[in-house]
Each structure stands twice: as C-alpha cells, then as structure tokens.
Homo-oligomer: A and B are copies of this chain.
Amino acid sequence: MIKVVAKSKIKPECTEQYKTVVKELIEETRKEAGNISYTLNVSKSDEYLYAMIEVWEDQKSLDAHLASEHFRRIIPQLGPLTEGGSPLEIYEELI
C-alpha cells in the first residue's frame, strides 16, 4: 500500500478558493481505480497548513492518478494559492 502526504501552506486570503478548487480534485480522485482514501486535512497548530493524506493500492494506481486529466488540470490552479506548492512525500506501508 502506498501513502502520500502533500503539505501546502495556503495564502490566508486564498483559503476559500483553495477549498473550492481542491474539492473537485477530491471528487474526481475518489472515483479512480486503486484509490483507497484521499482527504484534505488542516493542521491543529496552523490553520493555514493543509495536508492531502492519500492511500493507494499500489504505485501503479498512484502513477495513473499523477497522469490523470483532472490532476494535470487542477494542480496548476492550486499552486498559486499556496506558498511553495505541495511537494509529495511518498511512503510504502511496512507494518
């Protein structure tokens, strides 16, 4: 199983716009084969620090997501709403 944590520091004035745009990404991604969980989360210590926390069946399904039409279309819309984008931390489940 593959996990992804993608943290984004949101520009405070862009919070509502970020949530609106990311909602479409979430809805489309949850329809994908191999997606087990795909959620938007907010830090308990920083109201502008968000994290997508994702669970995928395998690397193949994550690769298909990263190549999907909705990912390629929506991610460039989210970047300017954040400080520094949303780098992916990718993990493999051990135990």
The residues in A between 33 and 59 inclusive whose CB is less than 8 angstroms from any CB of B are 39-45, 50-51, 53
Q: Could you give, for residues 65-91 of chain A, a 1 whenever the CB lies within 8 Å of some chain B CB and a 0 otherwise?
A: 000000000000000000000000111
Chain A: residues with Cβ within 8 Å of the partner, total of 24
Partner of A94, one of B3, B19, B45: B19
Q: Is the interface of A mostly helix, strand, loop or mixed?
A: strand
Chain B residues within an 8 Å CB radius of A5: 5, 51, 53
User: Which residues of B sit under 8 angstroms from A42, Cβ to Cβ?
Assistant: 91-92, 94
* Contact present for B53 and A91 (CB under 8 Å): yes
| A residues in contact (CB < 8 Å) with B | 2-3, 5, 19, 22-23, 26, 39-45, 50-51, 53, 89-95
